[in-house]
Amino acid sequence: MKPKFEKYIPFQPQPIKGRAWPDRVITKAPVWCSVDLRDGNQALVDPMNLAEKLEYFHTLVDIGVKEIEIGFPSASETEYEICRELIEGGHIPDDVTIQVLVQAREHLIKKTFEAIQGAKNVILHFYNSTSTLQRKVVFHMDTDGITKIATDAADLIYEMSQPMIEAGMNLRFEYSPESFMGTEMDYAVEICQAVLDHLHATPENKVILNLPTTVENCMPNQFADMLEYFIRALPGRDSAIISLHPHNDRGCGVATTEMGLLAGADRVEATLFGNGERTGNVDMVTLAMNMYTQGVDPELDFSNINKIKEMFERCTKMPVGDRQPYAGKLVFTAFSGSHQDAINKGVQYMKTSGTEYWEIPYLPIDPADVGREYEPIIRINSQSGKGGAAYIMEHDFGFDLPKSMHPEFGHIVQVETDKVGKEVAPERISELFHQEYIDVKEPYQLLKHAFKETVDDQGHSHVAFTGTLRHTDTVFEVSGEGNGPIDAFFNAIKGEKIDRFSFLDYASHAITDGSDSQSVAYILLQDKRTGKQYWGVGLSHNINLSPLRAILAAINRAKRTR
């Protein structure tokens, strides 16, 4: 890569004197606008259908988002239909504003006005690109030409909006100089002020100036400098709401937004879990919860993050990463023993001290605040590489599963976790274990059995087995001999249509101490026809009976699978 990096043009920072933003702190939530149904949806391999969009919209409403960009109704019939369904179907609460996006083009603007007929609260969001690169490469225009595109659109939008406003619609305007981060700040000020003038913006009727980091190409502190410079230089600042629309190309979307708020922004356009084009839009959940950890009310409700995550993954077909802040399944998990110890001591400190603050090491927030639990997660994950579910079974219930069994049972627990959308309690893990490996009584069941053991002169054991088996509604007798109970049982069932299995592995131990302790046996069989392997587990106070039950459990699991 060394000789190739020189082809890239470095970002030129905006000179600014006496910057004020580094000394500020975030003390209140911005106005939140979700762009999940537009930016997020257009970035999906398989865009959401109407039902999924409606469910997503209602989830955003439940979270408390008051401004929701629902799409680009002039772009396609599908986008137009979702807009009409939301309006005509009565899905939009009176305190929620829908936002529609349109390019600064006459025929698209007219189509957009058709789409919003009958809505109560609307933001009409129009844009054109202003960056030096796009002016040079895409439009082949100077700044005057680009400004004319924006102001012509503003004139048309203002003219067409008046009858709707007079009829009672709360219709507001938003303008985005697309690729703001790549635009000279003096020109960004010039074109935005021109738009404010053509939309007749006033302090009583503010226009949203949305400043997108369409492609993130500078450090967050440099963006804050740009933004503070822009706000200082904008003549109509008191007639504008300054909005941010960050992307995450450098992986700095959250930092860019937070520093942008310090620099004077009022509003943020974001998506749940950062879904969006390329590396995504800025993550609304992370931004809101970051404020929450600093004692600032984000004015959004993420108290059931698992439910929100489940909806997101189902509707978008996109996974939320295990390490996604606040929502990932491993973010409150401590693999390190020292971390666990510190967390446990923090819990004890909070109990004994009576502190009103959250003071537990390694946990930036109380997991319960987002509907998460800590203890089940630490138990499941506390032994890295050994299987969390197996750890639960050993430390809570006394089952020491063979290591080669850990991945299979771990997968079974994971399926349950995915289904319920939350961490699984130890009792449920035990229940799953019994259902899968022990309580497998069909089609074969051992009704009666007897062993007779003899030892020859050389000390070799010889075992004879007789027993009664049931297969569904058929009961039959079996018998066999071998050098031990398991070998005798295997020889007994040969010829009974269950001799296709070969013996691979066996382990056993006592679950509890004392004379009445139970023995547990783990048996691994292989189907000689298919090559597939099946574990079975048997429990009994009789040390000779538990492996027989385990063998039949493994065979029954194989039959059930087929």
Return the pLDDT at 31.
98
Return the pLDDT at 495.
66
The residues, any chain, with a CB within 8 Å of residue 193's CB and separated by 6 or more, are 234, 235, 236
Q: Sign of torsion, CA 357 358 364 367?
A: negative
Q: Which of 196, 278, 265, 206 is nearest to 230 (CA)?
A: 265
Q: In whole angstroms, what is the distance from residue 386 CA to residue 275 CA?
A: 33
Q: What is the DSSP annotation of 459-522?
A: --EEEEEEEEEEETTEEEEEEEEESSHHHHHHHHHTTTT-TTEEEEEEEEEESS-STTPPEEEE
> Is residue 429 classed exposed, middle or buried when 0-12, 13-18 and 19+ CB atoms within 10 A define those classes?
buried
Distances (CA, A) of 140 to 8, 11, 379: 21, 22, 61
Residue 99: strand pairing partners: 69, 123
pLDDT digits (tens, 9 = 90+) for 96-117: 999 999 999 999 999 999 999 9
Sites in the chain below the pLDDT cut of 70: 335-341, 344, 374-388, 391, 422-423, 495-497, 513-516
Return the pLDDT at 425.
77
Residue spans per domain, the chain: 23-316, 350-423, 444-561
Instruction: Give backbone dihedrals phi and psi of 121, rounded to 5 degrees, phi first.
Output: -125, 120
pLDDT digits (tens, 9 = 90+) for 265-277: 999 999 999 999 9
**SS3 string of 512-528?**
CCCCCCCEEEEEEEEEC
Q: For the chain, give the longest Cα–Cα distance.
A: 110
- Tokens, residue 485: 């109970």
Write the CATH number of the domain with boundaries 444-561.
Answer: 3.30.160.270
Q: In whole angstroms, what is the distance from residue 268 CA to residue 241 CA?
A: 10
| Radius of gyration in angstroms for the set of CA atoms belonging to the chain, rounded to a whole number | 33
Return the pLDDT at 386.
40
Cβ(179)–Cβ(158) below 8 Å: no
- Tokens, residue 416: 């349950």
CATH architecture of 23-316: Alpha-Beta Barrel (3.20)
- Tokens, residue 269: 């356009």
State the pTM of this model. Answer: 0.69
Return the pLDDT at 337.
47
